[in-house]
Structure 1
Amino acid sequence: MTVARAAVNVVRLGRISYRSALKVQQQHIKQHLDSSSTSPNTLLLCEHEPVYTVGIRRAPYPPEEEQRLKALGADFFRTNRGGLVTFHGPGQLVCYPVLNLACFKKSVRWYVCELERTVIKMCSKFGIEASTSPDTGVWVGDNKICALGIHCGRYITSHGLALNCNTDMSWFDNIVPCGIVGKGVTSLSRELGRDVPTEEAVPKLLEAFTEQFNCTLTYN
């Protein structure tokens, strides 16, 4: 018996504040959880205005650190995703999959691994050899090229991944990205030695996603 491929709708949000993108995610999550709704699985693609975000951690992020980061000209948000502190900003392709894992596989561990494999496959399309490590995300050597942090409630996913394309990497100098000491960050542009805007990365990411998740894409 042939299993039908799940359909995933791609929504381009453009450059958008983190707060606004969070509201869009919440609307899609609510539709999934509403039993009377037939909300589609969705990939929200965007770039953010400069913002530092903090995921779930054992100890609260110090208020003085929050004020220091805000003074740099960035927003700051505490979120319910996994992971620690990271940066989002222009030149970074952010992908928020809002998926019902019942349409794929009801396993959060499987889902996280598939996201990582999607980014690794996308990097290979650029000729970049990327990999996973004991730390989350996707790496080129000891430098993280894509951060990953998700939330999953009742098998509905939110948050997602942030791929550095031609990001101003100096924003990361103000934090210990994802709380990992002794490792750095990189970007498609840095690895390839040329400017790689987010628009160049989008089709390769979507192609890798359809291959890895065995789905078909529709476009809003």
Structure 2
Amino acid sequence: MIKTVPIVTIVRAGRQKYADGLKLQKELSTQKTEDWTNFRNYLILQQHEPVYTIGIRTKNYSDEDEQRLRKLGAEFYRTNRGGLITFHGPGQLVAYPIIHLRQFQPKMRWYVSTLENTIIATCRKMGITQATTTLDTGIWVGNNKICAIGVHGSRYVTTHGIGLNCCTDLSWFEHIVPCGIEGKGVTSLSRELNRNVSVEEAADVFLGCFREHFKCQTEEDI
């Protein structure tokens, strides 16, 4: 039996509020199919308006903390993804794979590892050869995180994903402990490469690496 190569539809959602991104994820992940082989896979590529989000393991952010962050001009959301607090905003590539793992490998550990390898390959193809994983979540360049990862899986369907700093204003991260990790910082493709790297440029490289590591074909959502 010849294994069918999964097809993933690319959705370029542009720049939008976090709530609209959540709504889009829900619309694409909630599919009424009798058979997982009929599930349509998606990869949402977007940027968010400034927003701080916390994951299911974050318990130490009070209402006062939320109001403090909102006063900076950002939104604040509690989500069902993994990981702790992070920031999304303009200049950051946010990628949300909405895929059925039974069309790929039915294991969340495989999924997270493949997502990590996709980001590492993206960074290295762009010239950041030292990008790697550590014991802490995300992708790192030295002691600085360049990409946050926070995913959710339910009945083999993935939601949420990654936030890769391209030309992000990193000062937004100064108001939090990114991903709850003390004593470490954040960086971006632009900072590491000492030139402006647009989200569009990074997205093109990321897509190529996504196809390679997830062993899939992609199609544009016209």
Q: TM-score range with shorter-chain normalisation? A: over 0.9
C-alpha displacement at 1:131, in angstroms? Answer: 0.2
Matching residue's letter, 1:131: T
Q: How much has 1:95 moved relative to structure 2?
A: 0.2
1:69 paired to 2:63: no
After TM superposition, the structure 1 = structure 2 runs for residues 52-91 of structure 1, keeping only pairs within 5 Å, are: 52-57=52-57, 59=59, 61-91=61-91
Mapped to 2, the partners of 1:40 and 1:59 lie a distance apart of 35
Give the secondary structure class of the aligned counterpart of 1:95: strand
Check whether the contact 1:151–1:157 (CA below 8 A) recurs between aligned residues. Answer: yes
> How far apart are the structure 2 equivalents of 1:41 and 1:153?
14
Q: Does 1:131 align with 2:132?
A: yes
Match of 2:159 in 1: 158
| 132-141 or 50-59: bigger deviation | 50-59
Letter in 2 for 1:48: H
Paired amino acid for 2:145? K
On the 8 A contact 1:28/1:39 being kept in 2, the answer is: no
User: Contact 1:102 / 1:155 at 8 angstroms: preserved in 2?
Assistant: yes
Distance in 1, Cα, partners of 2:70 & 2:87: 12
User: Is structure 2 residue 123 aligned with structure 1 residue 119?
Assistant: no
Equivalent positions of 1:1-220 (< 5 A) are 1-31=1-31, 34-35=33-34, 38-57=38-57, 59=59, 61-129=61-129, 130-220=131-221
Q: Please give the secondary structure, in 1, of the residue aligned with 2:64.
A: helix
Instruction: Classify the secondary structure of the residue corresponding to 1:61.
Output: coil
Deviation readout 1:17-55 (Å, 9 max, x if unpaired): 000010000011111x54389441000000000000000
Paired with 1:169 and 1:35, the residues of 2 have a C-alpha distance of 45
The letter for the 1-side match of 2:6 is A
Unpaired segments ≥5 residues, structure 1: none
For 1:154 and 1:60, how far apart are their aligned partners in 2?
Answer: 29
Aligned-partner residue type, residue 187 of structure 1: S
Cα distance in 2 for residues equivalent to 1:58 and 1:203? 33
SS where residue 210 of structure 2 aligns?
helix
2:10 alignment partner AA? V
Give the alignment's TM-score, normalised by structure 1.
0.96
Change (3 A) 1:58 1:126: closer
**CA 1:36–1:155 in 2, change beyond 3 Å: closer, same or farther?**
closer
Query: Once the two structures are aligned, what percentage of the paired residues are identical?
Result: 55
Deviations 1:74-99 (A, max 9, x none): 00000000011000000000000000
Distance 1:86 1:58 in 2: 11
* 8 A Cα contact 1:143 1:184, kept in partner: yes
Q: In the TM superposition, what is the alpha-carbon distance from 1:200 to its structure 2 partner? A: 0.7
> Which stretch shows the higher mean deviation, 59-68 or 16-25?
59-68
Q: Is the 8 A contact 1:143 1:183 kept in 2?
A: yes
Q: What are the Cα deviations for residues 183-211 of structure 1, in whole angstroms up to 9, with x where unaligned?
A: 11000000000100101101100000000
Quote the Cα distance in structure 1 between the aligned partners of 2:52 and 2:74.
Answer: 7
Alpha-carbon RMSD across the aligned residues, in angstroms, is 1.3
Distance in 2 between the 1:59 and 1:190 partners?
A: 32
TM-score (norm 2): 0.96
